[in-house]
Amino acid sequence: MRLDEIELGTDIYWKGREGDSGVDGRKEKARDGTPLIWEQSIGLQEFDLTGGSNYGTLTYAQIKAIMAMAIPGATYNLEYDSGTTPVRFRTWEQPIIEYEPIGDREVLLDTDICRNIKIKLMGA
């Protein structure tokens, strides 16, 4: 997986990618019992790229590079499963990337490993 120029490895995954149709629908009954169905396209999907406690880790240098990408109106290419999807960060949901450093120190080094990754994105 790759987010523009940042290699994310193969263990971070697109959470909730499967099973979403991209359509929002409602079914109600009219007073006479006739079903009323309303449907529309959801539009741009929100999703997370995630890693766990023992897989999908990133270095602190990668974390900093991802955080630097969150600028107003910017879009990026996400390469995933032999395809490319334009994405942007959900900047209204701070922090845009959540992580937990494995080592407990006040000042992280670029080589420190971080786990429990959650990168908040949406289609662009």
| Spans of all domains in the chain | 2-123
Segment holding 53, helix H or strand E: none
Which tens digit of pLDDT belongs to each residue from 5-53? Answer: 999 988 998 876 655 666 778 899 999 999 999 888 766 788 899 999 9
What pLDDT score was predicted for residue 43? 65
pLDDT of residue 87: 93
Q: Where are the alpha helices (DSSP H) in 22-75?
A: 60-68
Q: How far is CA 49 from CA 29, 103, 115, in A?
A: 39, 22, 12
What 3-state DSSP class applies to 63?
A: helix
What is the model's pLDDT at position 118? Answer: 96
The three-class DSSP label of residue 66 is helix
Burial class (CB in 10 A: 0-12, 13-18, 19+), 8: buried
- Using a pLDDT cut of 70, give the percent of the chain over it: 93
- Decide if 35 contacts 29 (C-beta within 8 A): yes
CA-CA distance, 57 to 19, in Å (whole number)? 26
Domain 2-123: CATH class, spelled out:
mainly beta
pTM of the predicted structure, to 2 decimals: 0.79
